[in-house]
Structure formats: C-alpha cells, structure tokens
C-alpha cells in the first residue's frame, strides 16, 4: 500500500465525515441564501499531476474557476476550486440579492465562492476537531492557461493529490457549480493520521 493512498477504512471514514459536513453545510447555506441547496454525494480519489490537469482542463463551457487555499492544524491544507459554467453566471446576483450593477460579475463569483468554500470546510473542520484559515480567493478566468500555472506556483507538490469533487445545486435559481478540493501529497499523510485517530475511537 502506497503511503499516500487511503485504505478502505480511511476512505469510508473520510466519506462519512464529508457526508455529515455536507448535510450541515447545505442547511446553513439554505438559511443564508433563503433557498434549498442540494449537495450530491462527493467522489473521492487519488490523482497524479497529469490526470489532475487533464480532468480540470476538460471541463466544458467553463466560464471561470475561483481558487482559494485553506489550511488548518496538524498539517492539513489544500486548495479549493469552484468551477462555474457560462449558463450559471447570470444567476449569481439574484442568488445573493445584489442590485443590478452593484458588483461586477468577477466580484460576484468571488463572493459566492468564498461563501460556498468556507461554509463547507468550516463544518468539515469541526468534524475532525480542527479549524481552517483561508487565503484570499483568486479568479482564474482563462482556465486552461492559468490553472496549471497557478498550481505550479504553490509552495507544495501536486505530483499526487487527493481530489474530492462536490456538486452544489440551488434549485430555485437553477444554479449549479462544482467544488473540487485538492489535498497535496504533503498533507495526505497528515489527514490519514487524523482519520486513523477517529477510527481508533470507534
């Protein structure tokens, strides 16, 4: 077993923690946005750098990606990518209750991304007795050209990453977006240690 790959028990534990966090986060978002928010069961997989870039660059009709770094105690850190499609871009102002021309589309994307990212990750952090801090969200409008460059500039390696893919659906506004959480290999062992501690308590 490669030290960077999760065992079946670790994967099941992480899946359960994320499912619980999703339920609580969707409830918080629904109250904040005053509408029903549905989160699909996420996929969790290990990916190498080549497959990661291919997967992210194959997103069709992608308008923009908002990237936001997160880091907590015990060496847990990573990058959250919020992926938006062109057909959803015009619905964000209504979703957030902005007046016409109150904020630019880029500012709206950054606002909704920060809300979606921090709500979910704060709830997840509480599940593992942790606390998250965040970098400022960064807009990557030219996805195919900028995403690889953006990841390569980070202070840790993406040779291998743990990828968690979550889809948000806001029913009243026919709004969807994908959140991709990337845990770099330097942090995978740290999150495995946390999972092992949780498993040992049961």
Q: What's the token pair of residue 192?
A: 């495995």
| Structural domains of the chain, ranges and CATH numbers in brackets | 8-200 (3.40.1550.10)
What are the distances in angstroms from CA 139 to CA 15, 65, 106, 172? 29, 6, 7, 26
Report the percent of the chain where pLDDT is more than 70. 79
Q: Which of 81, 9, 17 is nearest to 52 (CA)?
A: 81
The pLDDT assigned to 143 comes to 59
The pLDDT assigned to 12 comes to 93
Interval 15-54: pLDDT, tens: 999 988 888 888 888 888 788 888 777 888 888 877 776 6
The pLDDT assigned to 139 comes to 87
Please say whether the beta carbons of 76 and 121 come within 8 A.
no
- Which residues of the chain have a pLDDT value below 70? 1-4, 53-63, 86-90, 100, 141-157, 172-173
Q: Which of 136, 121, 108, 155 is nearest to 17 (CA)?
A: 121
The pLDDT assigned to 57 comes to 61
The pLDDT assigned to 160 comes to 82
The pLDDT assigned to 1 comes to 46
Strand partners, 60: none
Q: Which of 84, 80, 83, 113 is nearest to 182 (CA)?
A: 80
């Amino acid at each position: 077993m490669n030290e960077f790959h999760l065992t079946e028990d670790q994967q099941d534990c992480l899946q359960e923690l994320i499912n619980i966090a999703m339920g609580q986060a969707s409830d918080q978002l629904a109250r904040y946005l005053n509408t029903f928010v549905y989160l699909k069961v996420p996929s969790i997989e290990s990916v190498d750098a080549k497959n990661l870039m291919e997967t992210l660059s194959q997103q069709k009709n992608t308008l923009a990606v908002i990237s936001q770094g997160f880091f907590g105690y015990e060496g847990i850190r990573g990058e959250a990518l919020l992926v938006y499609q062109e057909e959803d871009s015009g619905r964000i102002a209504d979703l957030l209750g902005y007046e016409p021309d109150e904020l630019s589309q880029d500012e709206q994307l950054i606002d909704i991304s920060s809300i979606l990212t921090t709500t979910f990750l704060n709830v997840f952090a509480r599940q593992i007795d942790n606390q998250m801090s965040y970098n400022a969200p960064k807009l990557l409008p030219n996805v195919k050209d900028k995403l690889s460059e953006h990841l390569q500039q980070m202070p840790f390696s993406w040779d291998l990453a743990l990828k968690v893919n979550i889809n948000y659906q806001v029913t009243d506004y026919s709004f969807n977006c994908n959140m991709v959480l990337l845990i770099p290999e330097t942090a995978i062992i740290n999150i495995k240690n946390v999972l092992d501690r949780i498993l040992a308590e049961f």
